[in-house]
Amino acid sequence: MKAAAVYPGKRTIGLVDVDEPKIVLANDVKIRILRVGVCGTDREICSFEYGTPPDGSEFLVLGHESLGEVVEVGPDVSDLKPGDLVVPMVRRPCAHPECLACRSGRQDFCYTGDFTERGIKQRYGFMTELVVDERQYMNHVPSELRDIAILTEPLTIAEKALIEVLQIQQRLPWGCPTPGQSTQYCHKAVVLGAGPVGLLGAMTLVNAGFQTWVYSRDREPSAGASVVTSIGAKYISSQDKSVDRLAAEVGNIDLVYEAVGASQFAFDVLRGLGVNGLFVFTGVPGHNAPVSIDTSLIMRNMVLKNQGLLGSVNAGRDAFEAAIRDLASFNRKWPDAVRSLITGHFPLDQFETPIASHDGIKNVIEIAA
């Protein structure tokens, strides 16, 4: 069976032949991969800056954003059947008995760093024809979401962040007024970046009732900006408005959801965070030269305005389930906008094209129909 792989040692990428996986455990599920999404993490892995093959293997099979169709289940699996659609999770627990997070099924909060990730860290990914994994790592997707369910994994990043934000904000009175009571205070969010993670984040926040702005580099018109306006959010180019003007326009910024991985830009916007505001980082910047920031201003604001700064990586089952529910709701509210996020389709033997050049919003590798 064919698979797309990276050889970090040889610094090459290409198609490899791998054995067809078999059901081994009673709770195993075998899926045919339909599509795999390509993201910045894949690009980094293919420039040999990130990513680790499994022990004893020279190569890593790529792909962590996937959609599959069940073809066979082990004897203990009663709630999935052939033909069902599933999105597998990415991260698998570490083996340390003392890792409370992994031992509780929350490997997205793994303490030891010895977790593995399919397609990223020491486990083969999904850019291949067939995959076997355990039932507890599969999320069932309703069949009407077939053409957009490949967005589930990148959407989980926003869903995990939102779950955390809502938990943290239980520290203060944080309820939205009933519509019509317009004098009351409600929540305003700024999303940094108009790539797939940013746009899916904007959809999540609008859907959750946040008045939402997307602040990003490109000037309008752009594909990203038109998605933003079509879901009822506002788009602002950072080339046209400084952070101070952004903050003046928005008012009290309750939440910044960062999805660019550009640290200087992010810390610049942190200055504009409002009273009781939270700032969530989801981007992973490269190793760049240090920049100077006004740490006293940031610290003063954080204390005097009760602010919180949070980083969030990967996602648990709750975020996958929320992503699948929200995709169904995006599909009802904004069927065209959500589809317009998927801009490129490539066959498996051309997987290198969307990795080499980053065009459009979300590019996908089509493996089976």
Site for ligand BGC in 213-242 (CB under 6 A): none
| CA 147 and chain centroid, separation | 18
Site for Zn ion in 33-52 (CB under 5 A): 39, 41
For residue 64, the minimal CB distance to Zn ion (Å) is 6
Among ligand BGC, Zn ion, none, what binds residue 120 when CB lies within 5 to 8 Å by partner kind? ligand BGC
Please choose, from the candidates 64, 80, 102, the residue with its C-alpha nearest in 3D space to the C-alpha of residue 29. Answer: 80
Question: How far apart (Å, rounded) are the C-alpha atoms in residues 323 and 117?
Answer: 19
Q: What is the size of the binding site for ligand BGC (CB under 6 A)?
A: 10
Among ligand BGC, Zn ion, none, what binds residue 28 when CB lies within 5 to 8 Å by partner kind? none
3-state class percentages of the chain: helix first, strand second, coil last, to nearest 5: 30, 25, 40
> For residues 117 and 258, which CB has a smaller minimum distance to ligand BGC in the complex?
117
Would you count residue 212 as binding Zn ion (CB under 5 A)? no
Q: What is the size of the binding site for Zn ion (CB under 5 A)?
A: 2
Joined tokens for residue 56: 């004893």
Burial 156-171 (b: 16+ CB within 10 A, else e): bbbbbbbbbbeeebee
From residue 311, alpha-carbon distances to 164, 260, 341 in Å are 10, 13, 25
Q: Residues 113-152: x/- map of binding to ligand BGC (CB under 6 A)?
A: ----x--x--------------------------------
How many other CB atoms are there within 10 angstroms of residue 247's CB atom? 18
> For residues 69 and 117, which CB has a smaller minimum distance to ligand BGC in the complex?
117
Please choose, from the candidates 50, 122, 139, 71, the residue with its C-alpha nearest in 3D space to the C-alpha of residue 319. Answer: 139
For residue 120, the minimal CB distance to Zn ion (Å) is 8
> For residues 90 and 348, which CB has a smaller minimum distance to ligand BGC in the complex?
90
> For residues 39 and 202, which CB has a smaller minimum distance to Zn ion in the complex?
39
Full DSSP string of 24-58: -STTEEEEEEEEEEE-HHHHHHHTTSS-BPPTT-S
Site for ligand BGC in 39-58 (CB under 6 A): 39, 41
Please choose, from the candidates 36, 62, 43, 48, the residue with its C-alpha nearest in 3D space to the C-alpha of residue 353. Answer: 43
Question: How far apart (Å, rounded) are the C-alpha atoms in residues 41 and 38?
Answer: 8
Question: How far apart (Å, rounded) are the C-alpha atoms in residues 119 and 109?
Answer: 19
Helix (H) or strand (E) holding 116: strand 116-118
Q: Counting every residue, how long is the chain?
A: 369
How many other CB atoms are there within 10 angstroms of residue 146's CB atom? 14
Would you count residue 87 as binding ligand BGC (CB under 6 A)? no
> For residues 40 and 74, which CB has a smaller minimum distance to ligand BGC in the complex?
40
Would you count residue 216 as binding Zn ion (CB under 5 A)? no
Question: How far apart (Å, rounded) are the C-alpha atoms in residues 49 and 60?
Answer: 13
Would you count residue 208 as binding ligand BGC (CB under 6 A)? no
Q: Residues 280-319: x/- map of binding to ligand BGC (CB under 6 A)?
A: ---------------------------------xx-----
For residue 11, the minimal CB distance to Zn ion (Å) is 22
222, amino acid identity: S
Among 30, 35, 64, 92, binds ligand BGC (CB under 6 A): 64
Would you count residue 326 as binding ligand BGC (CB under 6 A)? no
Among Zn ion, ligand BGC, none, what binds residue 117 when CB lies within 5 to 8 Å by partner kind? ligand BGC
Among ligand BGC, Zn ion, none, what binds residue 67 when CB lies within 5 to 8 Å by partner kind? none
User: What residues make contact with ligand BGC under the rule CB under 6 A?
Assistant: 39, 41, 64, 90-91, 117, 120, 153, 313-314
User: What residues make contact with Zn ion under the rule CB under 5 A?
Assistant: 39, 41
